[in-house]
Amino acid sequence: MAPNKQKLRVVCVSDTHNHGPGQGYTLPAGDILIHAGDLTNQGSLNELEKAFDWLAKADFACKIVVAGRQYHGELAPSKAEFPGNHDLSLDKDYKLKHDDGWRVQAESLERCKAMLATYPNIHYLEHEASTIELRDRDISLNVFASSQSPNRGHQNWAFQYPISEAEALWDAIPSETDVLITHTPPSGHCDTSTHWQAGGCASLKQRLWHVRPALHICGHCHEGRGAEVARWGEVEGECEIVWRWEDPGQGNKKQSLLDLTGMKGGWSLERGRETAIVNASIMARSYGRGGVAFNKPIVVDIMIPAHTK
């Protein structure tokens, strides 16, 4: 008989922007690696190859990656990591919509798809759900991942949606989701930014109240890096922040550990009532807001129900 629960270690990163492990940060060991988008700066084929090189070498039982809607039905969505608004060559719908701002052209989608096919140990997840299984651990997780972020207007970025379509977009998140991965944070939660004036997405927060995943991993707003536990109320949309994480790895050599196991002083997460929201941005500052600075990956320990044999 398998134990009722097992501890799972999830290593979370986002917004690495062309920086792999050893280039400003180190990658701790864990069971699952999740990357919440913006692997690159300009989404070029060369940048993407470098990002997938270090992802392929990372030693994890599972790497959770989303590669955009153009892969529907073509690649098995079992293990993954995913692009954000900078990873434009992976977005089949990317185009220059405005005369000002970002002017980078996308590379050939077919060339990018051919490159991705050379990494057999990385699989891709779209704006959709998948069941991730760690067979050696007897663990199964319902995951939903999306590379989308709000279009605030006059921005030539990839994987963006107009605010008018946000509610319909996030309605796709299934109610049985255990782990939610989105590039954008929800509004008012880990969404501080000196670049994105409006922060996260209000419609995503509304959907969180209905779904209540145990873990929500995001990025996009660099200065919002951190974690908190939201407890959902009985009135639709109502929530209370019941715990704000203090990084034990700040300014020292310790890991940036978020302990949700309830052991040794960690927070005991109430599944179905609470969600741990984690902004795992590696870049500590928005572009043009000072010199380059790095955060550590956030290591999440969480108790997961195990199957019975």
Q: Which of 118-127, 204-213, 258-267 has the lowest mean pLDDT?
A: 118-127
* C-alpha to C-alpha distance for 152 and 160, rounded to whole angstroms: 9
297 burial class (0-12, 13-18, 19+ CB within 10 angstroms)?
buried
Average pLDDT over residues 77-97: 42
Question: How many CA atoms does the CB half-sphere of 197 hold within 13 Å?
Answer: 3
CB atoms within 10 A of CB 212: 21
127 vs 297, residue with greater confidence: 297
- For residue 198, the Cα-to-chain-centroid distance in whole angstroms is 19
- Report whether 52 contacts 122 (CB < 8 A): yes
Average pLDDT over residues 4-17: 93
Tell me which residue of 203, 191, 215 sits closest to 279, measured CA to CA: 191
Say what the pTM is: 0.84
Tell me which residue of 112, 113, 146 sits closest to 130, measured CA to CA: 146
What one-letter code names the amino acid at 8?
A: L
Residue 100: pLDDT over 60: no
DSSP secondary-structure letter at 134? E
pLDDT digits (tens, 9 = 90+) for 121-145: 675 677 889 898 888 888 999 999 9
* C-alpha to C-alpha distance for 302 and 309, rounded to whole angstroms: 21
pLDDT of residue 123: 59
Quick one: tokens of 161? 């949606």
pLDDT digits (tens, 9 = 90+) for 156-198: 455 677 888 999 999 999 999 999 999 999 999 999 988 767 7
Average pLDDT over residues 45-62: 88
* C-alpha to C-alpha distance for 94 and 75, rounded to whole angstroms: 20
- Report whether 60 contacts 11 (CB < 8 A): yes
Q: Which of 34-48, 90-104, 198-212, 236-250 has the lowest mean pLDDT?
A: 90-104
Query: Tokens 């949309």 belong to which residue?
Result: 237
Buried b / exposed e along 83-117 (16+ C-beta atoms within 10 A): bbbbbbbbbeebeeeeeeebebebbeeeebbebbe
* C-alpha to C-alpha distance for 269 and 124, rounded to whole angstroms: 29
| Residue 103 φ/ψ, nearest 5 degrees | -120, 20
What Å distances lie between residue 52 and 32, 156, 198, 219, 302, CA to CA?
A: 16, 24, 31, 19, 27
| Residue 283 φ/ψ, nearest 5 degrees | -70, 130
- Report whether 116 contacts 67 (CB < 8 A): yes
**Domains present along the chain, CATH in parentheses:** 5-305 (3.60.21.10)
* C-alpha to C-alpha distance for 188 and 294, rounded to whole angstroms: 23
Residue 213: pLDDT over 90: yes
pLDDT digits (tens, 9 = 90+) for 227-258: 999 999 999 999 999 999 999 999 999 999 99
Average pLDDT over residues 203-210: 97
The secondary structure element, H or E, covering residue 57 is helix 45-57
Chain-wide mean pLDDT for the chain? Answer: 82
